[in-house]
Amino acid sequence: MVMLRTARIVPAWCLLTAAAGVAAALMLFPNECASLVQRLRGGLPGFGSATNDKLPPPPSLDDGTGMAERTSPRRTAPRSAPETPRAPAEINPFALPEEPAVDSEEVIELLDYQKGKGARRSPSRAAASEAKDVGTVVPALETVEPTRGVRSAQETDFGPAPTREPSDSVAKPRQITPIEEILERLESDAETDGAPPVDFGDSAAVVRAAQNLIDAGEHQAAHRLLSRWYWRQRAAGTAPAPGAARPGPAIELLMESAERCFRSPQPHLEEPYVIAPGDQLRKVAARYGVSWQFLSKLNKVDAKRIRAGQRLKVLRGPFSALIDCSEFTLTVHLRGLVVNSYLVGIGKDGTTPLGTFQVRDKLENPTYYGPEGVVGADDPANPLGERWIDIGDSFGIHGTIEPKSIGRKESRGCIRMRNPDVEDVYDLLTVGSEVVIQP
């Protein structure tokens, strides 16, 4: 009987001892025990084959927080993870903070002369970039192939962007006209001329004061004085029309002064430029914001035959143009200093746009694309003449084959000029020059 009871007690004691050992092992070595259990499950029937560890792990469903979502065999698709902020990217201790990006090359995008063409560079700029910088040879940069053309102007009237009216609590800015703006600049620049005060209502007094400055060698001060008088006459509506038979002594002296300042190699109005070996006239012109054609005419030199050490008369541009639709005039000026004034034709039925524009492109011998069809560059029937100065949206300044339309409202919105006049303006204005069109 005793032996029977002992045989029953011993297995129970062994089981208790084993359980205590397993519990102690789980407490002391949890990681090792978990690894052992995984291995046992892989090799025992009912828990999968031992070859399962060779299969690729299931795709991670990390929701961005570092915790992968557990999948259930009963679900056919995982639930969308909640939108939680992602952990910050690892910081590289060897990288400079906020290191600026460096462009590999300069990209210049220019508007094309014709809408819808998709060109990114103007023909004149493209020709300039392709010219070889060898010696002092200056190619004809502004000449483009005859296949380039201009579409007819749109019959739309658009002006400057509308402005919001200020509230009563805010002081309204003083509205000034383009001519008043030019006068303000001239008055500011005249403070450094040292010219004596003069009564601009007395044209004879203006002529005497300007002639005294010319005799003293102050050509720029004299021309500024005459230009101030001219713009006052324009503002008052009393300036004679360009090409008038008897313009008066003041206009005659103004034109003589403009000829000396802007069309003659003497006198120098600022320090002359000395040609260096390898210089090109187009590079010198670009440095001063004018066209190489203007510098060539100003100095009476062949652009392909300039020589090192030669002193050139230079002026800092760019030139600007003011078009007055009520007077049918286009006046080219350099920061208010009058260069010349021309008669023009404008659009019928108010189709000429009003506002401030910039020259976007220039073309010689343009091809015309209009409702009547295409007219070739050298065709005598080309209504654009020999020059096209683009100011955007298919509007431009161009020549004409109808000289009788000058001084009238007969175009589709463009500014028409006599062919010799538009050739002159073409050489003065450059891409980027400001063109103001006022009523």
Q: How confident is the model at residue 175 (pLDDT cuts 50, 70, 90)?
A: confident
The catalytic residues are: 398, 414
Instruction: Flag whether the pTM goes above 0.75.
Output: no
- With a CB cutoff of 8 Å and minimum separation 6, the contacts of 338 are 223, 226, 227, 230, 231, 254, 258, 331
Per the model's pLDDT, the better-predicted residue between 153 and 437 turns out to be 437
Under the banding of pLDDT at 50, 70 and 90, the label for residue 2 is very low
Least-confidence region, from 19-33, 48-62, 273-287 = 48-62
pLDDT at 81: 41
**Residue of 215, 219, 202 lying closest to 254 (CA atoms):** 219
310-359 confidence digits (pLDDT tens):
999 999 999 999 999 999 999 999 999 999 999 999 999 999 999 999 99
C-beta of residue 121 within 8 angstroms of C-beta of residue 113? no
Token pair of 421 as six digits? 């006049």
pLDDT score of 164? 36
Which amino acid is located at 302 in the chain? Answer: D
Share of the chain above pLDDT 90, in %: 54
Q: Note the pLDDT of residue 392.
A: 94
What is the residue type of 250? A
- DSSP of 373-430: EEE-TT-TT-TTTTEEEEEETTEEEE--S-GGGTTSEEESSSEE--HHHHHHHHHH--
Instruction: List the domain boundaries for the chain.
Output: 178-269, 273-312
Handedness of CA 287, 291, 292, 298 (dihedral sign): negative
Q: CATH number of the domain at 273-312, please?
A: 3.10.350.10
Task: Identify the residue whose tokens are 């062919």.
Answer: 419
For residue 376, what are its two tokens? 């070739």
Describe the crossing of helices 292-299 and 281-288 by its angle, rounded to 10 degrees. 100
Place of tokens 């000034």: 176
Q: Is the pLDDT of residue 170 over 80?
A: no
Burial grade of 272 (CB within 10 A; 0-12, 13-18, 19 or more): middle
Q: Are 301 and 413 in contact (CB under 8 A)?
A: no
Q: What mean pLDDT is reported for the chain?
A: 75
Predicted confidence at residue 437, as pLDDT, reads 97
Yes or no: say if 274 and 236 are a contact pair by the CB < 8 Å rule: no
| DSSP H or E stretch at residue 258 | helix 249-262
25-39, 149-163, 265-279, 399-413: the lowest-pLDDT one: 149-163
Angstrom distance (rounded) from CA 267 to CA 252: 19
Distance CA 314, CA 425 (A): 18
Query: Whole-angstrom Cα distance, residue 113 to residue 48?
Result: 75
DSSP string across 203-241: HHHHHHHHHHHHHTT-HHHHHHHHHHHHHHHHHHT-PPP
What is the distance between the alpha carbons of residues 298 and 102, in angstroms, rounded to a whole number?
Answer: 41
pLDDT band, very low/low/confident/very high, at 48 (cuts 50, 70, 90) = very low
Residues 90-101 as b/e (b if ≥16 CB within 10 A, e otherwise) read eeeeeeeeeeee
Q: Of 182 and 172, which is predicted with more confidence?
A: 182
Q: Which residues, other chains included, contact 289 with Cβ-Cβ below 8 Å and sequence gap of 6+?
A: 316, 317, 318, 430
- Of 407, 406, 390, nearest to 398 (Cα)? 390
Contact 394, 151 (CB under 8 A): yes
| Range among 114-123, 161-170, 367-376 rated most confident | 367-376
Q: Are 426 and 332 in contact (CB under 8 A)?
A: no
CA 329, distance to chain mean position in Å, is 28
pLDDT at residue 193 in the model: 78
What is d(CA 9, CA 314) in angstroms, rounded to the nearest whole number? 121
Q: Report the C-alpha gap between 197 and 225 in whole angstroms.
A: 10
Q: Find the Cα–Cα–Cα–Cα dihedral 223, 299, 390, 232, rounded to 10°.
A: 10
